Amino acid sequence: MADTLEFNDIYQEVKGSMNDGRLRLSRQGVIFKNSKTGKVDNIQASELAEGVWRRVALGHGLKLLTKNGHVYKYDGFRESEFDKLSEFFKAHYRLELVEKDLCVKGWNWGTVRFGGQLLSFDIGEQPVFEIPLSNVSQCTTGKNEVTLEFHQNDDAEVSLMEVRFYVPPTQEDGVDPVEAFAQNVLSKADVIQATGDAICIFRELQCLTPRGRYDIRIYPTFLHLHGKTFDYKIPYTTVLRLFLLPHKDQRQMFFVISLDPPIKQGQTRYHFLILLFSKDEDISLALNMNEEEVEKRFEGRLTKNMSGSLYEMVSRVMKALVNRKITVPGNFQGHSGAQCITCSYKASSGLLYPLERGFIYVHKPPVHIRFDEISFVNFARGTTTTRSFDFEIETKQGTQYTFSSIEREEYGKLFDFVNAKKLNIKNRGLKEGIKQSYDEYADSDEDQHDAYLERMKEEGKIREENANDSSDGSGEETDESFNPGEEDDDVAEEFDSNASASSSSGDGDSDRDEKKPAKKAKLAKDRKPRKKLLESKKGKDPNAPKRPMSAYMLWLNASREKIKSDHPGISITDLSKKAGELWKAMSKEKKEEWDRKAEDARRDYEKAMKEYGVGSSS
């Protein structure tokens, strides 16, 4: 007997929609991973109470009931797989897999039974249909009648909106059968009712999607977004993931809530709720509960009175109520030292964050792509300018995402990140010996990073600079075509524009797609350089003496390391600003010292040029 059973192309019924994924049965329990969202359902073997096998629309189905009343339905099995599953259940779960047929008589008069999260309509001992009560959005009563309304399913072509039950009057005194029926439904239904006071309220928060300023009222089972025009009630059960992302300017923070199903405004669907906070904004928060209730419910994750940055308080409260980890950027650092890359997606500028297990783009439109759903990535030549490139991602479902107008300085960092994550890169394929090591059933949420510990981490080391980068390159910057091969020869094959030009390296990998890159390389080759660039290249002699540096540049090269040590973690841009301020504030006497050094350097240069002129003329 095998210790595990695995099934592909299995469908899980959730709120009226069928989500495809992979199912694994093991000694420890049952795991289902949703292919669309990456969400993982994990049922422990000790929680299983009953297993039912029955014929359904998609072949045969498996219904699992747990001891706490939850019901899980999986369809898409073949009839021949019953014996294998039955033996597995007996051996590892000590359960009998029961065969139950649905009643197909077509009668509409029967008995309603409530069991756990299910309403079952039976004729005799056979069920006709079952309704998961979590699908119910509203329950109303009339004379001898109960009406159930259901959550709208945007993915389904046809969606059941309501069912009405006729409940005959009974002779029992003091018990209204209609009210009893409704109470049984409401006790398990996903009906949002703002009863009682909110646990806490955050006022006038800036929301990017949906756009506007909203009050967020936090209730035990849902959050209420209250704006001037629209209201949204979001159950915590619809929250897939939480993200806390620092803005590139280091002064603001994004807090992103991923939702499935999304919230709706007319025909618009919002799969992400994005809040923007200033790091400087603080708040003192008092929960509308006594200390014993707070301790009992949140087990130390929250306290009755808290204070700190506004974004910290919101994320901390959400983390405690939703009971999910907060995903933060990993160890990626771009060219400027930021943990994100500025780019454009669908003509809108935004920020792309490489995470430990995926990419997320904010903010319009927001996109989250998990590594386990990526087929390959591609570094492509920028279409509008030679100083940028495009980063393309194609998923296993065939969906393409193109993030354009990325500065070419980011190429090396992004390529190293993609390479380290063992993602397949187009035109090269996987390197020999490298295989994607993602667990097919691992939850795609990042568990190794905690947003509140992240604050204690250093921002990371700033990229090491060349001491003479400013002096040597200050007068020679040109608008040559973007050629990543000049920066890193061993990765030049990844750029279409340079693939044919790098054939001398001896790599055979680029031969696979030789035709397409050759066209792009030809375009770059045919482009005429500017006249000045041509003249400067013709007249330049590598043996000629280098121009002398100014007093400021001499001082900067001597002081660079001291500024870095005085301001740990300072970015290159901020270092330049700080240096300018220090130079401006320097006394006249100290500046004269560097002026003398610059004058000496100029004399040495003139002397060297005279000797060079004599040598070259002879």
In tens, the pLDDT along 313-360 reads: 999 999 988 888 888 888 888 888 889 999 999 888 999 999 988 999
pLDDT higher than 50, residue 178: yes
| Pairing outcome for strands 367-370 and 374-381 | unpaired
Reported as a single tens digit per residue, the pLDDT across 381-429 is 766 667 888 899 999 888 899 998 888 888 888 888 998 888 888 866 4
Average pLDDT along the chain = 76
Relative orientation angle of helices 551-566 and 588-617, to the nearest 10 degrees: 120
- CA nearest to 181, candidates 169, 195, 199, 194: 169
pLDDT higher than 90, residue 93: no
- Pure H helices in 81-134: 82-88
How does DSSP classify residue 415? H
How does DSSP classify residue 537? H
Stretch 512-518: mean pLDDT, rounded? Answer: 41
- 111-115 β-sheet, strand order: 111-115, 118-123, 126-132
Stretch 497-513: mean pLDDT, rounded? Answer: 39
Stretch 430-442: mean pLDDT, rounded? Answer: 48
Q: Are 111-187 and 551-613 the same fold in CATH? A: no
- pLDDT at residue 164, rounded to an integer: 92
pLDDT band of 441, cuts 50, 70, 90? low
- pLDDT at residue 515, rounded to an integer: 40
Q: Got the DSSP string for 172-195?
A: -TT--HHHHHHHHHHTTS------
- pLDDT at residue 465, rounded to an integer: 43
Provide the residue ranges of all domains of the chain, joining segments of one domain with +: 4-99, 111-187, 200-323, 341-421, 551-613
CATH 2.30.29.220 fits 111-187, yes or no: yes
Which residues sit opposite 268 in a β-bridge?
265
- The CATH code of domain 4-99 reads 2.30.29.30
Residue 187 contacts by C-beta under 8 Å, 6 or more apart in sequence?
Answer: none
pLDDT higher than 50, residue 580: yes
Q: What percent of the chain has pLDDT over 70?
A: 76
- pLDDT at residue 453, rounded to an integer: 44
CATH 3.40.50.150 fits 341-421, yes or no: no
Q: Which two three-digit tokens encode residue 574? A: 């901020």
Reported as a single tens digit per residue, the pLDDT across 536-564 is 444 567 777 888 888 888 888 888 888 88
pLDDT higher than 50, residue 433: no
Q: Which of 53-57, 321-325, 471-475 has the lowest mean pLDDT?
A: 471-475
pLDDT band of 131, cuts 50, 70, 90? confident
Q: Which two three-digit tokens encode residue 236? A: 């915590």
Q: Which of 297-301, 303-307, 400-404, 496-500 has the lowest mean pLDDT?
A: 496-500
- CA nearest to 150, candidates 140, 141, 161: 161
- pLDDT at residue 401, rounded to an integer: 92
- The CATH code of domain 200-323 reads 2.30.29.150
Q: Which residue has the higher pLDDT, 148 or 20?
A: 148
Q: Give the containing element (helix H, strand E) for 273.
A: strand 268-278
pLDDT higher than 70, residue 470: no
Second-level CATH architecture of 551-613: Orthogonal Bundle (1.10)
- CA nearest to 367, candidates 403, 408, 326: 403
